[in-house]
Structure 1
Amino acid sequence: MTPEAVDLLREHSLPRAWRRRWRDRAGAVALEVIGEEARRGLTRGDLDARSAALAAGLNRRGVGRADRVLLALPPGWPLLLAHVAVLRLGAVAVPADPALTRRELGHVLAQVEPSLAVVGDEHAGDVAAAGPRTPILEADAVAELSAEPAADIVLDQADGSDLAAIVFTSGTTATPRGAMLTHANLLAGAEVVRLAWRLGENDGLVLALPWFHVHGLGLGVNGSLLAGARLLVLPRFDAAAALDACERADATVFFGVPTMYARLAEVMRASPRRAAAAASLRLMVSGSAPLSVALWETVRALCGQEVLERYGMTETMITVSNPHDGERRPGSIGLPLPGIETRLIGDADGDGDAGQGELLVRGPTVFAGYWRRPEDRRAVVDAQGWMHTGDVVRRDPDGYLRVCGRRRELIITGGHNVHPREVEEVLELHPGVAEAGVAGRPSPEWGEEVIAHIVPADPASPPSSRELDEWCRDRLAPYKRPRTFVVTERLPRNRMGKLQRSRLR
């Protein structure tokens, strides 16, 4: 099927598509939070009415079209209502990790200058301190506003070219970049998932991913709502609880990252019942980091599932995937998805399509640019619309693609992106550290793990690993903190003084 044969934008925008589905089967459950015994599931009708009421409430608080709204809540119905309400209003969602430190949160607030921050009660103080001019709406107020009678307000009017979300690609670095995703990008990203993986109204997605990445939010949440599938949400990942959720009769699909599959494998080894729960699903999907062949084979041996691995970026949503119907090849990211074009460009091959080279993608999922950094988009998207991913890929003779490595220095650990320089800057603030060099080291559990090489300010009295870990604990999100500290006399540098990061791994 050629890209031109698939129209990923035929429904114009997600809010319009969602509204049609909600009003078709208003009583069908859209979301259930696993473990919330006292709360019934949120139906499609609930989601329609309550998101409209919340959108009206946000509007009364000064949020209008194109205004940014920070969303820093754990997965669950308040975040779902807020996300949907912002999109329906025509405002711009800015999802953020609720575990960000005050310093990290301050970077995000300074970049996007939101008109409102929707946060958990426990983080309101952090937002107030990091962005004192930012109005705050706490989770309890989300519930109250969404329960009010819907006001007379015009919703679902955003065009495909309108900005819908700003998603930060590598946390909050010293120079963070927010990827701007339009309504067309979000719709195409959700529609391609629906088509490729056959998501439909009989599906129930067990979702334990965070919702501040496009994996959990763009594919999991948006894709399920578009397909009419039920979201079975775990606010945080626990392998045993996830497998118990898979045991439900309405559970059919699981999305995860390689680290999750490593944990699931441990539990399945100890529990045949839970292995059988995984085996009962029709589909398990892995993304955000490479899934090792060994782990893929382990999961298959334990529960019979051939995990479907796929590829995507914040800037492009999902673009390549192993097929739903056909060979799911371990170690491969699969084939280009419907509506998406790909090509490989070798270093010495400026125009031709190489058998191995940097992966380029083109299609309606490619982002609009980086927030307030237009020159950065021009550096990665060429005049013909090809996004240069920075990933080196090899094509098998039958078209399957394999990621060989990354040209960029980004570390992907447990599905999270970590920029080495941000970690180095935090370490170099420690009075006992003269220099720091950070890199990713291969890990069978995490894909990569963060390792830090330290040049002590006083070689006779270097800071201990425990001291450095405690230093980072107050300044970095958990996934960014180094798992290993190595004290060294000097960092490897070339004659120009540039750090040779590859020698740190």
Structure 2
Amino acid sequence: MSLPASLTNAFARVAERTPDAVFVEFEGTKVTYREMSDRSTRGAGALVGWGVRPGDRVALFMENSPRFIEAYLAVLWTGAVAVPINTRYRFAELAHVVGDADVRLVLVDEEGSADHDVSMAAARLGVPVVPLQGEGEGVDAWRNAFGAHDATIDVVPRSHGELAVIMYTSGTTGRSRGAMLSHGNFLTNVRAVTGAWGWTARDRLLLTLPLFHMHGLGVGLHGTIYQGSSMTLCRAFEEQAVFDELLAGHTTMFFGVPTMFGRLLQEARRREETPPPIRLLVSGSAPLGPDLLEDVERVLGSRILERYGMTESVMNLGNPLKGERRPGSVGLPFDGVAVRIADSTTDELVVRGRTGEIQLRGPNVFAGYWRDDEATSAAFARDGWFKTGDLGYVDEDGYHHLVGRSKELIISGGFNVYPREVEEVLERHASVLEAAVLGVRDADLGERVVAVVVPRDAGASADVLIEHCRARIAGFKRPRHVHFVASLPRNALGKVQKHVLREQLATERPPIDSQDPPA
């Protein structure tokens, strides 16, 4: 299959080839490729009427629904650039994204139109907010576009190198930056991913991941369009509803994060029934514990394929569709993606098996951060490789393993401590549901290792967990302090926000339970 010139060309090709095929099913309503083509091109006419021109940025502050897809395609038809915004963002975050991207419009759904934070942030910057559902002038104009034959537009041709999306990073370590992604970045990667996963027009994806995030948009939506397949789209993840959909037996693929798989596992055990085997389960965005991997396969009958992607580069690595899906590994590079493990300071290659920074090169890698030359320069090595900031190593079989973020590396008493290694040890204890490990300043050691633990039961204690670590890892790696909390702060895709944890430890009241180990 030849590579289309743009994302809109990819969609138009499918809409012309199979116009009456179901594209999206949402809350009982089915939308065909023909219907989505008509709606989105007419929506593009409305955008042009509101002054949107090629290269303008248009923000989408919308939950999952066919209207999101309609608006997203409409933006691309005009030659403008889509800026998806996390709907969990509040005033300061929204003002940052809307102002930084210098958007012309903010498109919102019914929930977004009732969100005072987005209204205030946009008003402060003088940016119109256009509701596409509910009541209001924007809704009337959008509806009128569907009834006006002259509301459709001549599609603005786009090429591989032209900007399609500015997607803001998840902000797990601080303020988010806008990654500039071209049509070519997405298309070359989606061709590689759909090929590696055996994705065809016969597949039906159950998509609960948010469309404002890379896995939902860049893989779920773009993969469906590229292959001309169909999806069942959910407004959000809700384990009972998702389990019901899996039981119906129509789903061939489900993409999630470890938290989702854990909840589906609990639902299966609660109901004492299991869905038919699903062709492909994919997990990413947060580490997948080996125990969860094995439990899901045993209970649900399908082995999860763990992958590794980033906002700046879509999908990079994945365990094989056919072959060993190795616990604790994110697998092998996708076609066209070059990966190396290098010293994060010198960018020189490290010996196989040694931990270093994961660096990337390929047509999937973004051009840089929007209007931030300093951050862009810092993100690339002198020889052009993208410095992910993620630490990992390659084993003897070529499988890649993530260890953590370079910014999260703890140097305690002169020794390097990789948080993920300690977290995995803690999570193997029966009383631990999940754990996050970070370094805090220490006058003697420079940094001391601190664990924040969500207990599985009341039997957890700091002494027991510290002793558990002492028996399994070097002494300098064991936590010097353990905090127990009800839950860990996470972003929309399940990544633990350690900068939030660090702030909480520094400023909030004492945790549920904490204790220093004995000397």
In the comparison of the two structures, how many residue pairs are matched?
431
- TM-fit CA distance, 1:375: 2.0
CA distance in 2, matches of 1:114, 1:438: 42
Q: Which amino acid aligns with 2:103?
A: P
Structure 1 CA distance, aligned partners of 2:347 and 2:93? 39
1:396 — aligned with what? 395
Query: How many angstroms does 1:145 deviate by?
Result: 5.1
Q: Residue 99 of structure 2: which of 110, 120, 140 is its match? A: 110
The one-letter code sitting in structure 1 at the alignment partner of 2:398 is G
1:55-204 alignment, distance < 5 Å = 55-124=44-113, 125-132=116-123, 133-140=126-133, 141=139, 144=143, 147-150=146-149, 151-171=151-171, 175-204=175-204
Distance 1:147 1:87 in 2: 18
Superposed, 1:484-495 pairs within 5 Å as: 486=505
Instruction: Answer yes or no: is 1:341 the counterpart of 2:338.
Output: yes
Equivalent residue number for residue 290 of structure 1: 287
Pairwise CA distance, 1:148 = 3.0
CA distance in 1, matches of 2:218, 2:508: 45
Aligned equivalents of 1:48, 1:139: Cα separation in 2 = 17
> Which residue number in structure 1 is paired with residue 265 of structure 2?
265
Partner of 1:206: 206
Give, as a single letter, the amino acid of the residue that structure 1 aligns with 2:155.
L
1:384 CA displacement: 3.4
Which range moves more in the overlay, 280-289 or 126-135?
A: 126-135
2:404 paired with 1:405: yes
CA distance in 1, matches of 2:298, 2:210: 28
| Contact preservation (8 Å) 1:83, 1:93 | yes
- Counterpart among 20, 25, 28 of residue 27 in structure 1: 20
Amino acid corresponding to residue 27 of structure 1 in structure 2: D
Quote the residue 2:225 is aligned against.
225
Distance 1:489 1:165, change over 3 A: closer
Q: Deviation at 1:154? A: 1.8
Q: How does 1:461-500 map to 2 (within 5 A)?
A: 486=505
Residues 453-464 of structure 1: pairs in structure 2 closer than 5 A: none
What is the Cα deviation at residue 383 of structure 1? 4.3
Return the structure number with greater relative CO, CA threshold 8 A, min gap 6: 1
Q: Say which of 306, 309, 313 aligns to 1:312.
A: 309
Deviation at 1:440, TM superposition (A): 8.3
- What residue is the counterpart of 1:360 in the other structure? 359
Q: Is the 8 A contact 2:210 2:216 kept in 1?
A: yes
Q: Is the CA contact (8 Å cut-off) linking 2:76 and 2:82 kept in structure 1?
A: yes
Quote how far apart the aligned CAs of 1:442 are.
6.7
| Partner secondary structure for residue 247 of structure 1 | helix
- Is the 1:346–1:354 Cα contact (8 Å) retained in structure 2? no
Q: CA 1:252 to 1:293, structure 2 compared with 1: closer, same or farther past 3 Å?
A: same
Distance 2:77 2:386 in 1: 28
After superposition, the Cα gap between the structure-2 partners of 1:110 and 1:316, relative to the gap in structure 1 and judged at 3 Å, is same
Three-state SS of the structure 1 residue aligned to 2:60 is strand
* Secondary structure, aligned partner of 1:408: helix
Following the alignment from structure 2 to structure 1, what is the Cα–Cα distance between the partners of residues 96 and 241?
34
Partner of 1:387: 386
Give the Å deviation of 1:113: 1.9
Deviations 1:247-276 (A, max 9, x none): 334310000001111111111112233x2x
Percent sequence identity is 37
Instruction: Report if aligned partners of 2:41, 2:152 keep a CA contact under 8 Å in 1.
Output: no
SS in 2 for 1:290: coil
Q: Which structure 2 segments of 5+ residues have no match?
A: 134-138, 410-418, 424-435, 439-447, 457-483, 511-519
CA spacing shift, 1:45–1:346, aligned 2, 3 Å: same
Distance 2:455 2:193 in 1: 27
Contact map agreement 2:319 2:330 (CA 8 A) in 1: yes
Distance 1:189 1:69, change over 3 A: same
State the one-letter code of the partner of 1:381: F
Tell which deviates more after alignment, 380-389 or 291-300.
380-389
Deviation at 1:173, TM superposition (A): 8.2
User: 2:433: which partner in 1?
Assistant: none
Q: Check the 8 A contact 1:308/1:324 in 2, yes or no.
A: yes
CA deviation string 1:158-202 (max 9, x = no partner): 111111111111349874311111111121232222111111111
Distance, in Å, in 2 between the alignment partners of 1:41 and 1:197 is 25
Q: Using the alignment, how far apart are the partners of 1:83 and 1:347 within structure 2? A: 37
Kept in 2, the 8 Å contact 1:53–1:145? The answer is no
Q: Which residue of 1 aligns with 2:376?
A: 377
| Structure 1 residue 385, shift from structure 2 partner | 2.9
Once the two structures are TM-superposed, the CA of residue 122 in structure 1 deviates from its matched residue by 3.9
- Per the normalisation by structure 2, the TM-score is 0.76
Q: 2:40 aligns with which of 33, 51, 63?
A: 51
Shift in Å, 1:490: 13
- Whether the 8 Å CA contact 1:104–1:172 is kept in 2: the answer is no
- What's 2:235 paired with? 235
SS of 2:195's equivalent?
Answer: helix
Q: Deviations over 1:322-378 (max 9, x none)?
A: 011111111100001111111111368743353132111111110011111022112
Alignment check: 8 A CA contact 2:277 2:301 kept: no
Shift of the 180–256 alpha-carbon distance from structure 1 to 2, 3 Å rule, reads: same
The 1-side partners of 2:271 and 2:509 are apart by 48
Which of these residues, 282, 296, 299, is aligned with residue 299 of structure 1? 296
| CA distance 1:72–1:185, change in 2 (3 Å) | same
For residues 16-73 of structure 1, the C-alpha deviation after alignment (integer angstroms, 9 at most, x for no partner) is: 111111111100010011xx24xx3110001111111001111110111111111011
TM-score, with normalisation over the residues of structure 1?
A: 0.78
